[in-house]
Each structure stands twice: as C-alpha cells, then as structure tokens.
Amino acid sequence: MKTLFPLKAFNNIETPFYFYDTELLRETLSVAQNEAAKYDGFHVHYAVKANFNPGLLQIVQRSGMGADCVSGGEVQAALAAGIPASKIVFAGVGKTDKEIAASLDAGIFCFNIESVPEAAAIEALAAERSMIASVAIRVNPNVAAHTHSNITTGLAENKFGINYEQLDEVIDFIEAQNHLSLIGLHFHIGSQILAMDDFIALCGRVNELQAMLNEKRGLILPHINVGGGLGIRYDAPDEYSIPDFARYFATYSKHLKLFPGQQLHFELGRSLVAQCGSLITRVIYVKHGTCKRFVIVDAGMNDLVRPALYEAYHRIDNLTAEDRPDEIYDVVGPICESSDVFCKDRKLPQTERGDILAIRSAGAYGEAMAFGYNCRTLPKGYLSDDL
C-alpha cells in the first residue's frame, strides 16, 4: 500500500510535523488482528511506547487491541483512548509507588514485575487497598537478538527481567504474599527483529522453562507473554508497508509449546505503526561545502532521534520534486550537534530551498521520542483523516 501525501494540505501546516496515513494504519492493525485470530488464545497488545499520539491511540483502540505500557503516563494515555483497563499490562524496571497505586485503582490486567523489591511494593499497595494484584514475572531469557545493541533487551547483561538463577526465589516470594496472584511469564528479546530464527530461539527458551517449572514445582501459569520486536523494512516503506504478520504468528504457533488453555500475548509496537508515519520537513537551505552538499531541513534530531541515536536508516522522499536529476547529499538538521544528521551521502533528486521532504517509516519511536533541546517546540502529529 503506497502512502499518498496530501501536499496541498501540507502547505498550510507549519513544518516539521508528523503525518500518519490512517488508511494504512487501519489496514495494518486489521491484518495483525486477523492473523492472530487464526490461532486460539493469541492476543495482541499495542506497545504504547512506540507512539502515544491520542488520535492514533484511538484508532488502535477501535481495532480491539489491548495495551502494553511502561509508565503511569502510558497507562493513563491508554485509558484516555478508551482501551479497557482489563486489557492493559504494565511493564518496566522502575515503577514508582504513585504509578503502581494509580494502576491498581484503575484495575489493570497485570503488572509485569522485574524484581523482588518491586513485588514487595505492589504487595504493600495492594494490601492497603484490600486488592489482589495479578502479576507476571518478566524473565530474562538470555537470547541474543540480531539487532542494534541499544535495542536488545533479553541478554543476561541487560537490566531487564529476572535471570533463571533467581526465578525460584522470586516465585517463592510472590507465592508467600497475600495480595499477589502469579498469572504469567513475560519475555521480550529486543526490537527491529527480522530473522524469525531469533523468535524461534525465544520459543525454545520458553519451552524449556515451562517444562522445568512444571516438573519442579507443578506450575502451569495461565498466561505467556512473548513481548514484541517484529521489525519493518525501513529500506522499502511502500513495497513492504505491512509487515509479514502471518509468518510471525505462524512461527510462534509452530515453535511454542503451550499447555492446554494457556493464553499467548504479544506486545507489538513498531510493526503496527512505523510505516504509516512520516516526518514532514521543509528544506531551509542547500549549502555547498568543499566536498559535500548539505540539505539543511527544519526538522532536527530532537524531532526524530533514531538516526542520531542508533544510526538508523530512514528513507527520504522529496515530495515537491521526484523527477529532478539525482545528486548526492547529506541531509542535516539545525541543531547544534554534529550528530544532527538524517543521512549521509544519499542520492536524492536535486533539492532546492522550500522543498518538502518526507522522512519515512517514522511512525514508531518518532513523535514519541521527540524532545525540546535548543528550545524547540515538540512536533505535532496529524492524521490523514483530519486533513
């Protein structure tokens, strides 16, 4: 599905801003939901961290997905969009008392806990409220995902989850409490994963662990959550606008051994929202250096930090002129940092002051990670429905 950009409408909006193709978003959500529905007990939660734009969240809510949240603010954003508390899971290594209390009061489905002190804090707050809090243990599966080192999470050296050696102690602790109910196991190995082998490796670890817990403790928990991580094709957003959800869910169905009645949860972020979003920016100047040509745009690393932070590739389209002869450029922002670069030595149609560029595949971890460095205002997000 090719994103069509309403260039006329763009002329009336101050750049830079995010643009979301809602037709593509709806189609992506629907394909993901339909593919998951082919298997009994598969549930998709949207990882709110990828993008919490209120309009986009409402479209996600209408798809019937639950939400995976990593802060009290995200829990509130999910609730405000109308996602029922009964479909919200709350993960993260550093949940504060205030965030836990608000989530208990809202009646969320489950806390994914990552340490004994956190379990103790949830126990105390649930006791004050005479409530039973449902918890899942986030297990660190020590699986290396083949992705950027800043976005792997499932290695023993990462801060996330509970290592195998400590698992018994944590289960004993939870079982000894009066206000905690252990309902599941949670895993997440990283993000932007395109090799199904990484997910197969995770399935192997989950199978081993489930067999071990069953044998040793007679434990079968009703919920297994395998996190998110499915990657997208940054190089070809129009050709691969919808990720291969069929293959992703089939991989889990084939390789994960669930006990009868066990429910399987997914927390997908990037794969659901990345391709529908672009950062729209205007060329301020074209500058000819001694050995380089720079396209200086009005968006900076504060609007889209992924290239500066992860050396991430984003395709750039010149919406004003696609048919001019090609030149080689570095596309850079106005921020006072040498890392404020969107791409280096990229072939683009000859670019002029005033041209409008679309930095593609920016719907996930784009607007959500924007910040205000250099006193810049945060970019707004517009849905195609509203233009």
| Tokens of residue 73, six digits | 């603010």
Closest distance to ligand LLP from the beta carbon of 50 (Å): 5
The single residue among 43, 87, 188, 205 that binds ligand LLP, judged by CB under 6 A, is: 188
Sign (positive/negative) of CA torsion 268, 271, 277, 283? positive
Query: Using the rule CB under 6 A, which residue among 78, 91, 119, 242 binds ligand LLP?
Result: 91
Interface mask toward ligand LLP for 255-274; x: CB under 6 A: ------------xxxxx---
Residue 17, interface with ligand LLP (CB under 6 A)? no
Q: According to the binding rule CB under 6 A, does residue 192 interact with ligand LLP?
A: yes
Cβ at position 328, least distance to ligand LLP in Å: 26
Nearest approach in angstroms of CB 224 to ligand LLP is 14
Tell which phi-psi region holds residue 233, choosing left (phi > 0), alpha (psi between -120 and 50) or beta.
beta
10 sits in the region (left: phi over 0; alpha: psi -120 to 50; else beta) called alpha
Tokens of 268: 């997908």
Return all residues near 165 (Cβ < 8 A) that are at least 6 apart. Answer: none
Nearest distance from residue 259's CB to ligand LLP, in Å? Answer: 23
Q: Which segments of the chain are extended strands (E)?
A: 17-20, 42-47, 66-69, 88-90, 110-113, 133-138, 180-186, 223-225, 263-268, 277-288, 293-297, 316-318, 326-332, 341-349, 356-359, 380-383
Contact pattern for ligand LLP over residues 100 through 139, marking x by CB under 6 A: ----------------------------------------
Work out whether 95 is an interface residue with ligand LLP (CB under 6 A).
no
Half-sphere CA count of 226, side-chain side, radius 13 A: 30
Measured from the CB atom, the residue of 153 and 281 that comes closer to ligand LLP is 153
Per-position x/- string for 328-347, each x denoting binding to ligand LLP as judged by CB under 6 A, each - no binding: --------------------
How many helices (DSSP H) and strands (DSSP E) are in the chain? 11, 16
Q: Is 50 in the site for ligand LLP (CB under 6 A)?
A: yes
315 lies in the site for ligand LLP, by CB under 6 A: no
All residues at 6 or more sequence positions from 107 whose CB lies less than 8 Å from its CB, including other chains: 85, 86
Q: Given the complex with ligand LLP, which of 177 and 271 has the nearer CB atom?
A: 271
User: Using the rule CB under 6 A, which residue among 205, 223, 306, 360 binds ligand LLP?
Assistant: 306
Beta carbon nearer to ligand LLP, 162 or 230: 230
The single residue among 68, 99, 114, 123 that binds ligand LLP, judged by CB under 6 A, is 68
Beta strands 380-383 and 17-20, pairing class:
parallel
CB–CB of 210/262 below 8 Å?
A: no
Tell me the DSSP string of 79-113: HHTT--GGGEEE--TT--HHHHHHHHHHT-SEEEE
Closest contact distance (angstroms) between CB of 130 and ligand LLP is 30
Tokens of 178: 């009066």
Select the residue interacting with ligand LLP from 365, 370, 379, 382 (CB under 6 A).
365
Q: In angstroms, what is the minimal distance from the CB of 312 to ligand LLP?
A: 7
Taking the least distance from each CB to ligand LLP, the nearer of 340 and 355 is 340
Q: Report the residue number, 271 or 275, with the smaller CB distance to ligand LLP.
A: 271
**x/- binding map, residues 193-232, to ligand LLP, per CB under 6 A?**
----------------------------------xxxx--
The CA dihedral of 167, 182, 94, 61, to the nearest 10 degrees, is 130
In the complex, least distance from residue 191 CB atom to ligand LLP, rounded to whole angstroms: 3
**Positive or negative torsion for Cα 39, 43, 47, 51:** positive
Residues forming the site for ligand LLP (CB under 6 A): 47, 50, 68, 91, 151, 153, 188, 191-192, 227-230, 267-271, 306, 310, 364-365
